[in-house]
A and B are shown apart, each in its own frame.
Chain A
Amino acid sequence: GVPAVAPAPAEPVAEQAAPAVAEPAPAEPAAVAEAGKIKIGMISAFTGLFSGFGEMQKQGAVLALEEANYMAGGKQIVLIMEDDQLDNEQAITKSKKLVEQDKIDILTGMVSGDEGLAVADYMKDKNIPVIPMYSASEDITMREFHPMIVRTTWTGAQSMDVFGYWLAKEKGWKKIYQIGEDYSFPWNQSGGFMRGFCRGGGEEVFSVWSPPGSTSDFSSMIASIPLDEGYDAVLYNGGGGDAVNFVKQFVELGYDKKITLIGQSNTFEKPDLDALPVDIIGSYSPHHTADDLNTPEWNAFKEAFNKRWGRNPSAASEFAYSSMRVILRAIDAVNGDVSDKAALVDAMLKVDMTDDPRGPVSLDPTFHSAIENVYIREVAKAEDGTLYNKGIWTVKNVSQFGPYDPETYLKQPIDGNTYPPQKCSDFPPVMLDAENVYEFVEFGK
Chain B
Amino acid sequence: MELKYIILILNGLTQSAILFVLGSGLTLAFGLMRVVNLSHGAFYMLGGYLGWSVVKATGNWPLALLVGGLSIALLGFLFEKTMLGRVRGNDLPETLLTVALSMIIADVCLVFWARTAITLNVPQYLNPTITILGVTYPGFRYLMMVISILIAVSLWFILYKTNLGKAVRAGVDDRETVSALGININKIYTSVFMLSGLLAGLAGVLGGSYLQLSPGGDTTILTLSLVVIIVGGMGSLLGAVISSLILGQIMSFGLAFAPQYSYFLIFIPMALVLALRPQGLFGRQI
Contact B216 A244 (CB under 8 A): no
Contact B255 A221 (CB under 8 A): yes
Contact A220 B255 (CB under 8 A): yes
Known: A51-B215, A223-B11, A253-B136. A211 touches B117 (CB 8 A): no
CB contacts (< 8 Å) of A254 on chain B: these are 129, 136
**Chain B, interface residues (CB within 8 Å), range:** 35 or more
Stretch at the interface among B63-71, B79-87, B107-115: B107-115
Binary interface profile of B, 8-22, with partner A (CB < 8 Å = 1, else 0)?
Answer: 100110110000000
Question: How far does the alpha carbon of A209 sit from the alpha carbon of B259 in the complex, in Å?
Answer: 6
> Closest residue to A214 on the B side, CB-wise?
B263
Question: How far does the alpha carbon of A388 sit from the alpha carbon of B255 in the complex, in Å?
Answer: 30
CB contacts (< 8 Å) of A11 on chain B: these are 56
Contact B260 A220 (CB under 8 A): no
Contact B214 A241 (CB under 8 A): yes
Contact B252 A240 (CB under 8 A): no
Contact B259 A215 (CB under 8 A): yes
Question: How far does the alpha carbon of A85 sit from the alpha carbon of B254 in the complex, in Å?
Answer: 29
Question: How far does the alpha carbon of A226 sit from the alpha carbon of B79 in the complex, in Å?
Answer: 50
Known: A223-B7, A223-B11, A253-B136. A209 touches B112 (CB 8 A): no
Binary interface profile of B, 207-246, with partner A (CB < 8 Å = 1, else 0)?
Answer: 1001110111100100000000000000000000000000
Contact A220 B11 (CB under 8 A): yes
Contact A47 B262 (CB under 8 A): no
CB contacts (< 8 Å) of A54 on chain B: these are 115
B162 touches A (CB below 8 Å): no
Question: How far does the alpha carbon of A248 sit from the alpha carbon of B251 in the complex, in Å?
Answer: 18
Contact B255 A210 (CB under 8 A): yes
Contact A220 B8 (CB under 8 A): yes
Contact A219 B11 (CB under 8 A): yes
B104 touches A (CB below 8 Å): no
CB contacts (< 8 Å) of B216 on chain A: these are 47-49, 51, 86, 213
B253 touches A (CB below 8 Å): yes
Contact B116 A241 (CB under 8 A): yes
Instruction: Tell which of A208, A218, A272 touches B117, judged by Cβ atoms closer than 8 Å.
Output: A272
A141 touches B (CB below 8 Å): no
CB contacts (< 8 Å) of A214 on chain B: these are 220, 263
Q: Which residue, A218, A220, A221, has most C-beta atoms of chain B within 10 A?
A: A220
Contact B212 A241 (CB under 8 A): yes
Binary interface profile of A, 6-25, with partner B (CB < 8 Å = 1, else 0)?
Answer: 00000111011000000000
Binary interface profile of B, 189-213, with partner A (CB < 8 Å = 1, else 0)?
Answer: 0000000000000000001001110
Question: How far does the alpha carbon of A55 sit from the alpha carbon of B4 in the complex, in Å?
Answer: 41
CB contacts (< 8 Å) of A86 on chain B: these are 216
B95 touches A (CB below 8 Å): no
CB contacts (< 8 Å) of A275 on chain B: these are 116-119, 212
Question: How far does the alpha carbon of A182 sit from the alpha carbon of B263 in the complex, in Å?
Answer: 12
Contact A248 B4 (CB under 8 A): no
Contact A12 B113 (CB under 8 A): yes
CB contacts (< 8 Å) of B112 on chain A: these are 13, 16
Binary interface profile of A, 238-251, with partner B (CB < 8 Å = 1, else 0)?
Answer: 00110111001000
CB contacts (< 8 Å) of B215 on chain A: these are 47-49, 51-52
Instruction: Tell which of B15, B217, B262 touches A210, judged by Cβ atoms closer than 8 Å.
Output: B262
CB contacts (< 8 Å) of B129 on chain A: these are 254
Contact B220 A217 (CB under 8 A): no
Known: A51-B215, A223-B7, A252-B138. A211 touches B252 (CB 8 A): no
B256 touches A (CB below 8 Å): yes
Contact A223 B4 (CB under 8 A): yes
Contact B116 A219 (CB under 8 A): no
CB contacts (< 8 Å) of A217 on chain B: these are 11, 14-15, 210-211, 251-252, 255
Question: How far does the alpha carbon of A220 sit from the alpha carbon of B117 in the complex, in Å?
Answer: 21
CB contacts (< 8 Å) of B217 on chain A: these are 49, 241
Question: How far does the alpha carbon of A350 sit from the alpha carbon of B118 in the complex, in Å?
Answer: 42
Contact A55 B117 (CB under 8 A): no
A417 touches B (CB below 8 Å): yes
A224 touches B (CB below 8 Å): yes
CB contacts (< 8 Å) of A210 on chain B: these are 255, 259-260, 262
Known: A16-B111, A275-B119. A244 touches B212 (CB 8 A): yes
CB contacts (< 8 Å) of B127 on chain A: these are 252
Min Cβ gap B141→A in Å is: 8
A354 touches B (CB below 8 Å): no
CB contacts (< 8 Å) of B113 on chain A: these are 12-13
Question: How far does the alpha carbon of A16 sit from the alpha carbon of B8 in the complex, in Å?
Answer: 41
Contact A218 B255 (CB under 8 A): yes
A425 touches B (CB below 8 Å): no
Instruction: Tell which of A211, A252, A271 touches B116, judged by Cβ atoms closer than 8 Å.
Output: A271
Q: A51-B115, A217-B211, A221-B259 are in contact. List 20 more A-B contacts (CB 8 A).
A: A15-B114, A15-B115, A49-B216, A52-B114, A52-B115, A52-B215, A210-B259, A211-B260, A216-B211, A217-B14, A217-B255, A218-B255, A219-B14, A220-B12, A220-B253, A220-B254, A224-B8, A244-B212, A248-B212, A275-B212
Closest CB pairs A-B (n = 6)? A241-B117, A52-B116, A12-B114, A241-B214, A52-B115, A220-B255
* 12 A-B residue pairings within 8 Å (CB atoms): A12-B115, A13-B112, A211-B260, A213-B220, A216-B207, A216-B220, A220-B12, A220-B255, A221-B256, A243-B117, A252-B138, A272-B117
